[in-house]
Structure 1
């Protein structure tokens, strides 16, 4: 197919995968979009304008070769499209599901304004789901035997799993330590199944297990071993813990029994989905309750949509700015509204009571250093709304890793994130690297994958230099 045959956006309208009806999908935790059929994927891929400067690729943190695998998809060459997609991403079908494409690749598609963006995320998901079904996703094959050197990775989230795969390909013995009983980090326990069904994550983990990556679940650094203990076991260490410390709401009643941390709530829901016993399960069950979620990011969207599926009597989301300034995905807001969530814009909590939330009306003032207009309270404009369950979803900060790891020499920034040399990605401790949210702060899964991809060659270089020095000493 010639390049000019790709430019079908003029006569082929944008068609995202059809969604299940809101009433139907609100009764389960299955993904809400129906998959493309082959003909529809080919049709939508053919809308690509094959730009000379592909802004979709430029604005993808992984620099995925989007125009090329769209072209291959349009030509029906799906296996080649998958191989190209997988050459830059360790989990394209996951990013295709949960990336905010409207803010990244699709939001920068040059035909988006007049014709609607190419449905990049849906095609990416289709390509790799098809690859799994057809057996095109091959086992990981180490290119060399470097098993005499081992790597320890702290954290089994997207950054840690990506680095584990790439270092195993290099031939190293890889051990992954994680506090949870299943690998995947927030992919497993933080993101609900209606956005990312858990078998999609587990098959990625199993592929690593089959390749010889050794997982140590339920292993907490500082409790089961110190950072120094791990350094004695391994030639290099990667800290990829993510950030899990919930940001506090400084209002009366914020620590009351009906006030939950967002991550605790989502973990409980995901554990229930796995069939696990959940401690204090009624407290985390929204069935029949009036639920108020405080926050405006993707975690807040996950919480409101989970509460709907648990059978809440009502679900409201309080956000202190307006809709246009909301940090979460616009698509997620739309999905939540379709499912019955009520958004209360320009509202912030003033007090959390036993059966209600007192909130204050806000207005947007002058823009701050980040360019966003700062919210400020409207005097005398308080109101009260019923709430049997209040979920606090204001984001996450870094935990005290130097204290938890027994490693005071581990340097951190004023935000508590681990300080690294941004060229080598090494921390202040020789041979100890860091990647993902624990370095950049709470961010997107795709950025964690990017960091895991970037840190692996730096660790490989360190291990090669270390082996060379040892050989010279032995000689």
Structure 2
């Protein structure tokens, strides 16, 4: 009788891939976690309890078949594990690196609830697909049959790329329009290399390009090409622009020189990693080297900024957040990594104003948590008379992102938006108020997770295929 390969959580403790020491990793932009060795991946996968109702799968936006590919990994059947993993996820190696597993799959692991420590799902997911790339199991996109219908996708972020992958595999002709010079959106320019090394994203872009997806880069819709022109050129359109408009700071001095947007700061750093010429970095405007840095915000973007500043050689890095650690929206794992690297987190602190031109300091007001708001979170209240000035040479705004006014920006009539400015789209399909136009990801949800954008892109692509099939049927009558 074969030995039971699973349910080893009682005898095998949870273990993560080795993490580089803080002193070592704070000087470069390489990923901080090592790869699992084969034996260690098998061992950790074998801790899965194979429960009848897998909460890990339920709480994954993509509903990945996690227990199945954990078992296959434990049994050494890695190619099969990869096939099952990529059946539901366009970019498993990216999700394995950047998903907040502590809030999704791992945070809902049954053995975690029973006190045994969660299965390290994200690390195994990353290992499976990295191994697949190394062994040539990731095959080029080769449609069984080419179709004469085409789809235009606006935005080359995770939502747009996921939609392109599904559509191209079905033989649809796909063109992606993007404002940047490289595809990937925030995967390329918004997320630092220490969380997601850029060759991981570039090889996916190359896979799509080699599979027949056409990329039209450095293309601003509404300027270089009109939305109506894209719509007229294609049988259907998918809007996947994301949200890039930064929420602004208020208070005296908020427009001072030296107060910069997180997206500009992170993009400059990532461009530098590519070897690009970045004048704003070289002249110090978007470079923290030798500076006292204050980052305002409590999400994952704020953590990306503080950890980038450390690597650029800042003299001090502080993060102001108006609530406490327990109420922070960002990943607790990222907070821990930031603190290990020397970042000081100032809880219950918010900016009241700014000193100097260019900026030399932030007027900080201390807060306490009062009564819960409509969402159930305690609302921050100002403690009168507790203000102080935090010295700063550069202040980075990481307060979240809002949608641009696309109908106005693109001169489009009839494209309905919500009161928040996001595009109004049908749940699961992404269908908008315009015929043959769909929308996915953050431009529908507001600022959200990469994994949700992938889910939206895949779902909407299926709806687009049904729409194209319907259009073909009508044409044949």
Q: TM-score, normalised by structure 1?
A: 0.98
- 5 Å-filtered alignment, 1:29-428, equals 29-113=29-113, 114-146=115-147, 148-281=148-281, 282-353=284-355, 354-422=359-427, 424-428=429-433
CA distance in 1, matches of 2:3, 2:374: 44
Task: Give CA deviations for 1:194-242 in whole Å, capped at 9, x if unaligned.
Answer: 0000000000000000001000000111001111111110000000000
Task: Give CA deviations for 1:126-167 in whole Å, capped at 9, x if unaligned.
Answer: 000000000000111213220x11100000000000000100
SS in 1 for 2:413: coil
CA distance in 2, matches of 1:452, 1:3: 41
SS in 2 for 1:425: coil
CA distance in 1, matches of 2:153, 2:2: 46
CA distance in 2, matches of 1:21, 1:72: 32
Query: Which shows bigger deviation, 154-163 or 275-284?
Result: 275-284
- 5 Å-filtered alignment, 1:427-446, equals 427-446=432-451
SS in 2 for 1:112: helix
SS in 2 for 1:237: strand
CA distance in 1, matches of 2:219, 2:430: 24
Quote how far apart the aligned CAs of 1:36 are: 0.6
CA distance in 1, matches of 2:332, 2:428: 34
Aligned to 2:18: 18
CA contact (8 A) 1:3 1:50 kept: no
CA contact (8 A) 2:31 2:197 kept: yes
Q: TM-score, normalised by structure 2?
A: 0.97
CA distance in 1, matches of 2:393, 2:412: 42
Q: Residues 47 and 366 (structure 1 numbering): CA distance in 2 closer, same or farther, change over 3 Å?
A: same
Quote how far apart the aligned CAs of 1:15 are: 0.5
CA contact (8 A) 2:250 2:353 kept: no
Structure 1: give runs of 5+ residues left out of the alignment: none
Task: Give CA deviations for 1:250-286 in whole Å, capped at 9, x if unaligned.
Answer: 1222221110000000000000000111132211110
Quote how far apart the aligned CAs of 1:104 are: 0.2
CA distance in 1, matches of 2:62, 2:441: 13
The count of corresponding residues between Structure 1 and Structure 2 is: 471
Task: Give CA deviations for 1:412-464 in whole Å, capped at 9, x if unaligned.
Answer: 00000000122542111100000101001100000000000100110011111
SS in 2 for 1:277: coil
Q: Residues 348 and 3 (structure 1 numbering): CA distance in 2 closer, same or farther, change over 3 Å?
A: farther
Q: Does 1:470 align with 2:475?
A: yes
- 5 Å-filtered alignment, 1:444-459, equals 444-459=449-464
CA contact (8 A) 2:150 2:173 kept: yes
Aligned to 2:8: 8
What is the root-mean-square deviation in Å for CA atoms of aligned residues?
Answer: 1.0
SS in 1 for 2:319: strand
CA distance in 2, matches of 1:2, 1:320: 56
CA distance in 1, matches of 2:427, 2:280: 43
SS in 1 for 2:49: coil
Quote how far apart the aligned CAs of 1:469 are: 1.6
CA contact (8 A) 1:289 1:387 kept: yes
CA distance in 2, matches of 1:83, 1:431: 32
CA contact (8 A) 2:428 2:456 kept: no
CA contact (8 A) 2:168 2:211 kept: yes
